[in-house]
Amino acid sequence: MLYTQTVDKLQALHLQGMVDALQEQRRQSDIVTLDFEDRLALMVERQWLWKENRGLTTRLKKAQFKISACLEDLDYRTSRGLKRAQIDQLRASQWVKEHRNCLITGPTGSGKTYLACAMGAQACREGYQTLYFYAPKFFRTLESARADGSLLAWLKKLARAPLIIIDDLGIASVPGKLYREFLEVLDDRQGHGGTLITSQFPVNQWHEIIADATVADAILDRLVHNAYRIELKGESMRKGKTAPLEPSEKAT
């Protein structure tokens, strides 16, 4: 009876990890060799892991990454400008904590999206809430938010996110007014969050993408000066492929 009441109270406190650990201990005949503090420590450890895993699952779901990717599957064997030392430097997501940016450029099919999603997933594992956007959809959402009056709320949501990823900047034409809204997004995030952007166009061509020279200068000023740069090279990884790519192939 006491066991049932204990389980009910643990569940009421949302301590499912401790419930699982307690049930496991009851099935282990040799658990009696451990003293109370050791058994309690095992239960607390299980609760901590349960909470961490649940938080990670929630962060990955909210991020809405385009593809499932991880840094462990990156393939450094082909010469596409992907350097292991640089990725190792970024792996702990210290750059997100320091509110820095990361700019990934390269031709279509060179693995920009995979790398961006892998870095975003790693940030989620490190505890940082991340939001992923395909660039055309990002600007459409900006425009819709402006039209329906929800722009302020959406800007606040973006400002609060430790990391936002905008994938394939420049792939579609964007009205100048939306780049001004984008500048506001970046301005709000100064000193508050990291931004990762991928693009088929080299950074020195982004002025041409944005068109408005003044806005382009302001955007690049907020993105480039404290950014890590990754420049991928080579032909499209999709060229000549008839079978689905393995994770290591996607990463290069």
- Residues 234, 194 share a domain: yes
Minimum mean pLDDT range among 11-15, 165-169, 210-214, 219-223: 11-15
Task: Report the candidate in 98, 100, 96, 91 with the shortest Cα–Cα distance to residue 224.
Answer: 100
Which residues, other chains included, contact 233 with Cβ-Cβ below 8 Å and sequence gap of 6+?
79, 80, 81, 106, 107, 110
- Residues 95, 32 share a domain: no
Task: Report the candidate in 76, 62, 71 with the shortest Cα–Cα distance to residue 92.
Answer: 71
Q: What single-letter amino acid sits at 64? A: Q
pLDDT tens readout for residues 138-187: 999 999 998 999 999 999 999 999 999 999 999 988 888 899 999 999 99
From 44, 61, 78, the end of a domain falls on: 61
> Would you say the pTM of this structure is higher than 0.85?
no
Q: How confident is the model at residue 66 (pLDDT cuts 50, 70, 90)?
A: very high
- Residues 113, 41 share a domain: no
- The CATH number of residue 149's host domain is 3.40.50.300
pLDDT tens readout for residues 3-16: 788 888 878 888 88
CA distances from 198 to 54, 80, 236, 242 (A): 29, 15, 15, 26
Residue 252 has a pLDDT of 41
Compute how many other C-beta atoms are within 10 angstroms of the C-beta atom of residue 237: 20
Residue 251 has a pLDDT of 47
What's the domain range around 96?
Answer: 64-250
SS (H, E, C) 189-246: HCCCCEEEEEECCCHHHHHHHHCCHHHHHHHHHHHHCCEEEEECCCCCCCCCCCCCCC
Q: Give SS3 for 130.
A: strand
